[in-house]
Chain A
Amino acid sequence: MMKHLLKLTHPIHLVGGVTLWGIWFVAIYGGLSVACSVAPPAAEQDTLTGINVVIGILTLVVAGLLLWLAWASVGAARKTSLRRECYFAFTSAGVYLFSAMGTLFVGIPVIFLPPCL
């Protein structure tokens, strides 16, 4: 019963991209807060800290995954013959693409700012 939810033509994927984005967002904000209260790096280290690097890598991985999903949704939309499914897959692809770009965009500040100040 759950299997049809995984097909990229199902409307549940309309919210898939932003959900992944949301989980990533909570993870980096929560992780940053916990890391800063448990083991804050010295101010001298500036942006070259483990925290920045981990957040940076996580950002790239999640953005990559979202990009792939966007691309796969376009593929699914091309393959299906049902107008409804095609419509949902294309819209989901747009939302996945937005989420991927949004992830990259929100991740940019790790380049400029030290984590805990």
Chain B
Amino acid sequence: MSDTENASLSPEARELHDGLDRVWGNPRGLRALTVVNHTTVGLRFIITGAVFFLIGGLLAMLIRTQLAFPDQEFMSHETYNQVFTMHGTVMMFLFAIPILEGLAIYMIPKMIGARDLVCPRLTAFGYWCYLFGGIILTSSLLLEMAPASGWFMYTPLSSGEYSPGRGSDFWLLGITFVEISALSAGVELVVSILRTRTQGMALHKMPLFAWYILAMALMIVVGFPPLILGSILLELERATGMPFFDVSGGGDPVLWAHLFWLFGHPEVYIIFLPGAGIVSTLIPVFAGRPIVGYGWVVAAVIIMGFVSFGLWVHHMFTLGIPQLALAFFSAASMLVAIPTAIQIFVWLSTLWLGRPVMKLPMLWIVGFLVIFVLGGLTGVMLALVPFNWQVHDTHFVVAHMHYVLVGGMLFPLMAALYYWLPQVSGRMPSERLGRWSFWLIFLGFNTTFLVMHWTGLLGMRRRVFTYDADMGWGLYNLISSVGGFMMAAGIALLLLDIALHFRFGKKASQNPWNADGLEWAMPKPPTAYNFVSLPAIETRHPLWEDPELPRTIEEGRHGLANIDHGRRETWGTDPLTGKLRETIHLSGNSWLPLLAALALAVVCISLLVRIYPLAAVATVVSIVILLHWSWVNGAHPKMAPDATVAPGEPPLHSRTMNGPGVWTMSVSHLANGSLFLSLLFGWFYLWTVAPEWQMPATSPLSMPMLVAAGGALTLGTLWLVKLVRRLRQHDDTGLSGGLYFAAALGALQSVLLGVVIWQADLAPTETAHDATLLVALLYVLIHALLGGLLCLLQGLRVGYGYVSAEVPYEPVVVLRLWNYNVVVYWILFVAIWGIPTLLGGG
């Protein structure tokens, strides 16, 4: 907080600040590893992402050096294949997505007037998973064992037979590890945006950026699980020989392509949407007027979010899929042009009707508009199947992709960097150095990639480590390489600019760009608790309508201006209207996220080096840590040292029945359900399409046992429903006994499922049929165990007084899991026993 403003505060207000600092402040030294605060963790995400960007950029420079001249021998083909694979992987998985998540984690609470995200420990856990996964993945480069099958890892090339080294394992395990972080950020951003907006901020009044991030987070939640499933299956195939993608065992390599692109296409939009969100936030500020057509933008974002899931096959146009099916995807790909064009014209008309000021962030936005429109146009060209067949897998596609991704993501990100830098550091960056670096990057980028379209049209394939001088591509490649190095110089200058500004930048005023967003109503540099008091916001442009807001917030004249209870608090509001519903109390700093991520890192590494006993031990350790984490929750004294609420304030969320935890559980099940649907898709896909798939004449699974297991699960769920209904009526007699009974039913279901698996006598390494069955059964078994275990813990918590009629919160959350289990179990039963039995084998 800046000293000048603090000086004018009344003694009461200063006391409030000090109290908040005590409860929210970050510890120093080693204990800094326990920090869970979204501002700090968000910055860590961004800085780590930037480091990976530099690594990915270095790899790009190596590629451009190799290709600068024909017949170069700068790198061997082995090194080159590793380098281009890792360039794509690092840029996509370790830079683009995490840095945008970091931006969202950092900005969202500040923009919607909250003090933190809903699950602060999850934020930190996500960061550690990202960091460790990223380190594991990039270490493969130093060990010269990096994956070398291209960033989409098409099997059989990436399979054990054709990539016998450890490279593919590094990719599959490392990426899955990193994706835990994407999913946790996705889940918590959704719930935070829906449930923790400040009082009065109704859904249609929230900042556009929040709409974009909401869409992005939901897309992460639904879009990442197919790849996670694919990675698990491919790693199982490599480690144990289960033939999911091996034709001779009844698998199909095209299943991998489907699972990968089911994730891979939405991923492009996951990267683009936050970029567009930045543009929609900055343009009104620099045009000095509200955006034209807020509703148009919201509709466009929703349409993009959905339609982008209908495009995945357009990466597979040459795989020999029937042309009519391709035409559907081709048409759907063209449809995306409409929401994109709507946004572009909304931005243009906002600029047209306003008075644009060409400050540095605006320069980057203009750069974005130019580059992204070009990338979008080549995108429409690529959606056309016959044209696609010609340029697919050439440098034309490489150029298109970089126009879309660099244009759609990097340029807005740079705009965001310059725009929000004063918010982070309290200082203004230099306009002059910034302009130099912009022009170097902009011109360098276009020099590299505009020419590359032409190289591709001349027939140069992507991923070749050299080319013959006779082909006549030398000059174009040389130009591209020169442009690439120009861009690198621009990046270096930009880093210099940022570094210098911390020392030499002018002090920023409270609202240096005259922006409308709440994030500019905070102290600079930001405090850990964001807002001293939480204002009621009834408008889309709080700071334009009430420029005095920063001062009144600072003076503690709004909500939650009390810290005597020692809790970390923020508002819980109605997702639709923004009416106050509860006071959410959040976790403080904790070692648990780091420990859990460390245990998972050990799991990951021991799977990588194939020491399975160690992996098993580390898995148990991480489960114990996670369960302990769930124990320190709700009414646990560490979470709510003092459970009294000031009169007139809404109840603590742990004393209600529809708090954010219930929402978190539901959104997590969206992800879980997406994983399950991907598995179901895999089952039916292999069944109908895989050339050598063999369906046994009768199902190997015991029907009575399956039904009995399902019966135990169903009974347990109904039982929990009854318990929760009684809790709703404030009746907790026999609660612990009831919970133990449900736990016993969960255990019974697990045992019965174990018997089913044992009796079936599957040969998972022989046929894809048995392998898929085994994975499906293990999936429900794990859920059965989890359901039972959580009920057991709940029963114990009743004894500690953490769960009761006063604190009825957690059984509702656990019930959600059981509900999910029941639905999934019976669907699976129909899919793996019912339909095969009905249709007969063969």
A–B contact at 8 Å CB threshold (below): yes
The B209-229 residues at the A interface (CB cut-off 8 A) are none
The B405-428 residues at the A interface (CB cut-off 8 A) are none
Q: Interface code B705-734, partner A: CB below 8 Å = 1, 0 otherwise?
A: 000000000000000000000000000000
Asked if A109 and B306 make an inter-chain contact with CB atoms under 8 angstroms apart, the answer reads no
Asked if B688 and A115 make an inter-chain contact with CB atoms under 8 angstroms apart, the answer reads no
Q: Is B27 an interface residue when CB atoms closer than 8 A count as contact?
A: no
A109 to B204, CA, bound (A): 38
The A1-39 residues at the B interface (CB cut-off 8 A) are 11, 14-15, 18-19, 21-22, 25, 28-29, 32-34, 36-38
* Known contacts A11-B576, A14-B298, A98-B303, A109 near B322 by CB under 8 Å: no
23 contacts between A and B (CB under 8 A): A18-B302, A18-B306, A18-B307, A21-B307, A21-B310, A22-B309, A29-B328, A29-B329, A32-B322, A32-B328, A33-B325, A84-B202, A84-B576, A90-B295, A91-B295, A98-B299, A102-B332, A105-B335, A106-B335, A109-B324, A109-B327, A109-B330, A113-B323
Q: Is B689 an interface residue when CB atoms closer than 8 A count as contact?
A: yes
A65 to B313, CA, bound (A): 26
Q: Is A108 an interface residue when CB atoms closer than 8 A count as contact?
A: yes
The B183-209 residues at the A interface (CB cut-off 8 A) are 202-204
B292 CB contacts on chain A under 8 angstroms: none
Closest partner residue, chain A, to B327 (CB atom): A109
- Residues of B with Cβ closer than 8 Å to A? 202-204, 295-296, 298-299, 302-303, 305-307, 309-310, 313, 322-325, 327-332, 334-335, 338-339, 576-577, 688-689
B296 CB contacts on chain A under 8 angstroms: 94
A116 to B339, CA, bound (A): 31
A49 to B16, CA, bound (A): 75
A106 to B338, CA, bound (A): 14
Q: Is A68 an interface residue when CB atoms closer than 8 A count as contact?
A: no
Smallest beta-carbon distance B320→chain A, Å: 10
Asked if B331 and A108 make an inter-chain contact with CB atoms under 8 angstroms apart, the answer reads yes
Minimum-distance CB pairs A-B, first 9? A109-B327, A18-B306, A106-B331, A113-B324, A94-B299, A91-B295, A25-B310, A116-B322, A37-B688
A113 CB contacts on chain B under 8 angstroms: 323-324, 327
Smallest beta-carbon distance A12→chain B, Å: 10
Smallest beta-carbon distance A89→chain B, Å: 11
Smallest beta-carbon distance A57→chain B, Å: 15
Asked if A15 and B323 make an inter-chain contact with CB atoms under 8 angstroms apart, the answer reads no
A58 CB contacts on chain B under 8 angstroms: none
Closest partner residue, chain A, to B329 (CB atom): A29
- Contact for A105 among B203, B295, B299, B331, CB less than 8 A: B331
Asked if A25 and B322 make an inter-chain contact with CB atoms under 8 angstroms apart, the answer reads no
A34 CB contacts on chain B under 8 angstroms: 688
Extra pairs beyond A32-B324, A105-B331 (18, CB < 8 Å): A11-B576, A14-B298, A14-B302, A15-B306, A18-B306, A21-B307, A28-B328, A33-B325, A36-B322, A84-B202, A91-B298, A94-B295, A94-B296, A105-B334, A106-B328, A108-B331, A113-B323, A113-B324
Asked if B577 and A84 make an inter-chain contact with CB atoms under 8 angstroms apart, the answer reads yes
Smallest beta-carbon distance B263→chain A, Å: 16
Closest partner residue, chain B, to A83 (CB atom): B204
Q: Is A87 an interface residue when CB atoms closer than 8 A count as contact?
A: yes
* Known contacts A11-B203, A25-B332, A115 near B324 by CB under 8 Å: yes
A11 CB contacts on chain B under 8 angstroms: 203, 576
Majority DSSP secondary structure for residues of A touching B: helix
Smallest beta-carbon distance B666→chain A, Å: 14
Closest partner residue, chain A, to B338 (CB atom): A98
Asked if A95 and B310 make an inter-chain contact with CB atoms under 8 angstroms apart, the answer reads no
B332 CB contacts on chain A under 8 angstroms: 25, 102, 106
Asked if A102 and B307 make an inter-chain contact with CB atoms under 8 angstroms apart, the answer reads yes
Asked if B325 and A32 make an inter-chain contact with CB atoms under 8 angstroms apart, the answer reads yes
- Residues of A with Cβ closer than 8 Å to B? 11, 14-15, 18-19, 21-22, 25, 28-29, 32-34, 36-38, 52, 84, 87-88, 90-91, 94-95, 98, 102, 105-106, 108-110, 112-117
A37 to B684, CA, bound (A): 12
B325 CB contacts on chain A under 8 angstroms: 29, 32-33
Closest partner residue, chain A, to B339 (CB atom): A98
A37 CB contacts on chain B under 8 angstroms: 688-689
Asked if B322 and A15 make an inter-chain contact with CB atoms under 8 angstroms apart, the answer reads no
Closest partner residue, chain B, to A90 (CB atom): B295
Asked if B306 and A117 make an inter-chain contact with CB atoms under 8 angstroms apart, the answer reads no
Asked if A88 and B204 make an inter-chain contact with CB atoms under 8 angstroms apart, the answer reads yes
Smallest beta-carbon distance A37→chain B, Å: 5
Smallest beta-carbon distance B292→chain A, Å: 15
Smallest beta-carbon distance B367→chain A, Å: 29
A106 to B313, CA, bound (A): 14
A90 CB contacts on chain B under 8 angstroms: 295
Asked if B299 and A95 make an inter-chain contact with CB atoms under 8 angstroms apart, the answer reads yes
Smallest beta-carbon distance B707→chain A, Å: 28
A116 CB contacts on chain B under 8 angstroms: 322, 324
Smallest beta-carbon distance B791→chain A, Å: 25
B328 CB contacts on chain A under 8 angstroms: 25, 28-29, 32, 106, 109
Closest partner residue, chain B, to A34 (CB atom): B688
Closest partner residue, chain B, to A55 (CB atom): B324
A32 CB contacts on chain B under 8 angstroms: 322, 324-325, 328
A94 CB contacts on chain B under 8 angstroms: 295-296, 299
- Contact for A114 among B324, B330, B688, CB less than 8 A: B324
A19 to B305, CA, bound (A): 11
Closest partner residue, chain A, to B336 (CB atom): A102
B305 CB contacts on chain A under 8 angstroms: 18
Smallest beta-carbon distance B231→chain A, Å: 23
Asked if B303 and A18 make an inter-chain contact with CB atoms under 8 angstroms apart, the answer reads yes
Closest partner residue, chain B, to A116 (CB atom): B322
A88 to B295, CA, bound (A): 9
Smallest beta-carbon distance B695→chain A, Å: 13
A113 to B326, CA, bound (A): 10
Smallest beta-carbon distance B331→chain A, Å: 4
Central interface residue in B203, B328, B332, B335, by most chain A CB within 10 Å: B328
A95 to B302, CA, bound (A): 8
Closest partner residue, chain B, to A18 (CB atom): B306
A21 to B311, CA, bound (A): 13
A33 to B322, CA, bound (A): 8
A116 to B325, CA, bound (A): 8
A105 CB contacts on chain B under 8 angstroms: 331, 334-335
Closest partner residue, chain A, to B332 (CB atom): A106
A112 CB contacts on chain B under 8 angstroms: 327
A22 CB contacts on chain B under 8 angstroms: 306, 309-310
A82 to B313, CA, bound (A): 42
A38 to B323, CA, bound (A): 17
Asked if B202 and A38 make an inter-chain contact with CB atoms under 8 angstroms apart, the answer reads no
Asked if B688 and A33 make an inter-chain contact with CB atoms under 8 angstroms apart, the answer reads yes
Asked if A110 and B324 make an inter-chain contact with CB atoms under 8 angstroms apart, the answer reads yes
Closest partner residue, chain A, to B202 (CB atom): A84
A18 to B335, CA, bound (A): 12
A79 to B327, CA, bound (A): 40
A90 to B202, CA, bound (A): 17
Closest partner residue, chain B, to A88 (CB atom): B204
Smallest beta-carbon distance B723→chain A, Å: 19
Asked if B331 and A109 make an inter-chain contact with CB atoms under 8 angstroms apart, the answer reads yes
Closest partner residue, chain A, to B334 (CB atom): A105
Closest partner residue, chain B, to A12 (CB atom): B576
Asked if A15 and B335 make an inter-chain contact with CB atoms under 8 angstroms apart, the answer reads no
Smallest beta-carbon distance B85→chain A, Å: 30
A28 to B329, CA, bound (A): 11
B335 CB contacts on chain A under 8 angstroms: 102, 105-106
Closest partner residue, chain A, to B215 (CB atom): A15
Smallest beta-carbon distance B418→chain A, Å: 32
A37 to B339, CA, bound (A): 35
Closest partner residue, chain A, to B203 (CB atom): A11
Closest partner residue, chain A, to B685 (CB atom): A33
A15 to B330, CA, bound (A): 22
A106 CB contacts on chain B under 8 angstroms: 328, 331-332, 335
B202 CB contacts on chain A under 8 angstroms: 84
A33 to B681, CA, bound (A): 13
